[in-house]
Structure 1
Amino acid sequence: MGGTLVHQISGAIVATGVLLLLCTLVERVNSRGAFRWAERWPGVLFGLLNPVFAILVAIPLKLLWATLGVGPLVHLAPLGLGLVGTTFLTLLVTDFLMYWEHRFEHRFFWPVHAVHHSVEQLSAANSYSHPAQFLPMFALITVPLSLIDFGSIAVPALVSTVVFFLQLFIHSPVKLGFGPLRHLFVDPAFHRIHHSLEERHFDRNFSILFSFWDRLFGTQVMPDKGQWPQVGIHEAASPRTVGELLAFPLRLWGILPSLPAAPPIGPAETSALPDADAPANRHSALGV
């Protein structure tokens, strides 16, 4: 068990590092604005820790199902969709769950999710989250998916790789986009709206893979041509150390002293923003 766990964690760290490097190289050659390596190093450290926490959270679930004798409730193999069809169906189901889990975090778990939104220099490397964010992800995504028999171990492997890569890519400050296909798929400009400091963009564009979930559930804002808003949150600047990362939610809850607020944005956009204590700044997606 110990050797297997070490192998899983080391493999996840290597895979994460490779995907981070790939996205960062794309940013280097296709960047919107200045590219600075120094802005990415803290995020690389935080990002490499994320798969470790994900694996440590998933293991107890496997042990629980084995102990209770709970098997899959849904079997995809009898549908006869093949590897490609089953993978696409699984991507749809996974992204649907991620959409609603994301909205749940904004409504009920904002001080934890705010770590992800606090980044002022958004990139693939800086798309990290707080470890506690795996709790709602575990309950609302991992548990339902664990009750599905995909018919092949290749399906969840492919889905995990595609989802993770696109989660990194949509945070990249690059000129690349999907053009008219943005009405189907999320690209960096579409997701940038979700991280925007502008009040009119709060609680919008929750989708990770398929942008049509936002259209179906009334949370979509299509970016205008060339639109690239400033990102971050008003409550605090992004964490710079692992200690600040872990303590961040406690500061927003008022349990620990707060960190300095994020730097002010340009004067041209200031009038569009609410005060730091305005209710709209607390991201309450399920309440709109």
Structure 2
Amino acid sequence: MIEQTMAPESATTPDAGPRSVWRFLLTFAVLLIAAEGLLRVVAYMQEEIGWAVFDAGFSIGMASWSAATANAVMTLFALVLLFGFFEWRQFGFTNFRERYSEGLLYGATAIVIATTLQVIVFAWVSTLEFEPLLRADSLGSLSIVFPLLYMLALGFFEYWLHRALHDIPILWRLHAIHHQIEHLNAARSYSHWAQDALYLSVITVPLVFLIENPQQHLVLLTTFYIVSNYYMHSDNPAVSFPPALRHVLADNVYHHYHHSRAIEHWGRNYCSFFSFYDRIFGTQHMPEDETFHPTGIEGHRPLSGWKDYLFRPFNSST
């Protein structure tokens, strides 16, 4: 792994100060409800787009790809719009293009490529006629705790994959694209498209073989997980968690320490959902306040454009 060399800097975002727990719960509940509403609209539009493509005479495969890609891209724009409103408000509704356009371009690129690969892989998986080890519809009384067990398992595997992205040099070349981002926000939560393909191969596809149709049992928890990636990279202190809650769940302040340039924060806070995995495996730095530290990698030049985003990890000169 290529380490950062810059000494710690002063924070770029001031401490949000103490907040009422009830105010936080109300704010976050509104965010989740709004996100759920947006995702339902996106799901409706996805279905309509899929049928429209099919009715236009294209194959079922093309209709499936069109629907899945539309869903992913619309989800990106909808959730960035949701969090972007709160973030942008902090800055007096200025510099919108500077803050969000690059992230939306790279994020949409990664999503289109990853969705295309996912549709191809799932089409192949469907031809295998395999039987999943567990059927979500046959859980019985276990369905009550299934969402929690599912998220615990997913968080565990994501934690170790994230550590591998840092510790294995060839994987770090992919992940460094994500860590070079300065001034994180909801749109600047993108990763390299090859990293998303890696997640597909080592997490998403194995889960398909393990359990059939789990999404319907996750309900709002699914929304929270989808939203969490955009949320954790948001630089809005008004929606950060109360300190006590960070011992269970990672929030945007917690995750900003993972991206921090400061030496003492390297190799810390890998968790993307449950923060206690960091504590269990000795990689936790629990924030003492709500400071957003400067992010990025010293000596790692910013992306110069779309082509650079696509191919930088495969360029031996970088």
Residue 246, structure 1, aligned to residue 310, structure 2: yes
**Equivalent residue, structure 1, for 2:240:** 177
Q: Which of 61, 71, 89 lines up with 2:121 in the alignment? A: 61
Query: Would you say 1:36 and 2:99 are equivalent positions?
Result: no
Q: Indicate conservation of the 8 Å contact 1:42/1:240, yes or no.
A: no
State the Cα deviation string for residues 214-258 of structure 1 (Å, max 9, x = none). 01111100112143221101231331411111232134xxx23x4
The match for 1:80 is 141
CA distance in 2, matches of 1:20, 1:197: 25
Distance 1:29 1:39, change over 3 A: closer
Opposite residue 166 of structure 1, the aligned amino acid is: S
2:297 aligned counterpart, secondary structure: coil
CA distance in structure 1 between the partners assigned to 2:156 and 2:190 by the alignment = 21
Task: Map 1:212-223 to 2 at 5 A.
Answer: 212-223=276-287
> What's the offset of the Cα at 1:29?
3.3
Q: Does 1:128 align with 2:190?
A: yes
User: Structure 1: which amino acid aligns with 2:240?
Assistant: G
Q: 1:27 to 1:211 in 2, by over 3 A?
A: same
Q: Is the 8 A contact 1:204 1:219 kept in 2?
A: yes
TM-score (norm 2): 0.72
- Tell me, in whole angstroms, the C-alpha distance in 1 between the residues paired with 2:145 and 2:81: 29
Match of 2:253 in 1: 189
Residue 152 (structure 1) shift: 5.3
Rate the CA distance shift 1:121–1:246 in 2: closer, same or farther, 3 A: same
The aligned length equals: 252
Q: Which SS does the other structure have where 1:147 is aligned?
A: helix
* Equivalent position of 1:209 in the other structure: 273
Deviation at 1:56, TM superposition (A): 1.6
How do residues 11-50 of structure 1 correspond to structure 2 at under 5 angstroms? Answer: 11-30=71-90, 36-37=95-96, 38-50=98-110
Tell me the distance in 1 between the aligned counterparts of 2:219 and 2:314.
Answer: 35
Matched-pair contact (CA < 8 Å) for 2:260–2:296: yes
Percentage of identical aligned residues: 30
Structure 1 residues 78-106: Cα deviation after superposition (integer angstroms, max 9, x where no partner): 25244x64333222222222111111111
Using the TM superposition, give the Cα deviation of residue 35 of structure 1 relative to its aligned residue in structure 2, in angstroms: 6.2
Instruction: Tell me whether 1:95 sits opposite 2:155 in the alignment.
Output: yes
Please, which runs of 5 or more residues in structure 1 have no aligned partner?
Answer: 259-288
Letter in 1 for 2:110: N
Which structure carries more helix by proportion?
2
Structure 1: which amino acid aligns with 2:305?
A: T
CA distance in 1, matches of 2:133, 2:63: 30
Of 104-113 and 238-247, deviating more is 238-247
Q: Classify the secondary structure of the residue corresponding to 2:139.
A: helix
Q: CA RMSD in A?
A: 2.3
Q: Distance in 2 between matches of 1:70 and 1:60?
A: 17
More displaced stretch, 19-28 vs 187-196: 19-28
The alpha-carbon distance between structure 1 residues 115 and 69, as it changes in their structure 2 partners (threshold 3 A), is same
Q: Which amino acid aligns with 2:277?
A: W
Deviation at 1:55, TM superposition (A): 1.6
1:21-74: CA deviations, max 9, x gaps? 10111212356x996311221101111223222222222332333333222123
1:180-202 Cα shifts (integer Å, max 9, x gaps): 10111111110011001112111
Which amino acid letter does the alignment assign opposite residue 36 of structure 1?
N
Bigger CA drift: 99-108 or 204-213? 99-108
Structure 2 vs 1, CA of residues 15 and 132 (structure 1 numbering), >3 Å: closer, same or farther?
A: same
Whose RCO is larger (CA < 8 A, sep 6+)? 2
Partner of 1:138: 200
Determine if contact 2:215/2:222 at 8 Å carries over to the other structure.
no
> Alignment partner of 2:188: what SS?
coil
Q: Is the 8 A contact 2:111 2:193 kept in 1?
A: no
Contact 1:197-1:232 at 8 Å conserved across structures? yes
Native 8 Å contact 1:185 1:211 kept in 2: yes
Contact 2:65 2:119 survives alignment (8 Å): no
Q: Compute the TM-score of the two structures, normalised by the length of structure 1.
A: 0.79
Question: Does the Cα contact within 8 Å between 2:257 and 2:269 map onto a contact in 1?
Answer: yes
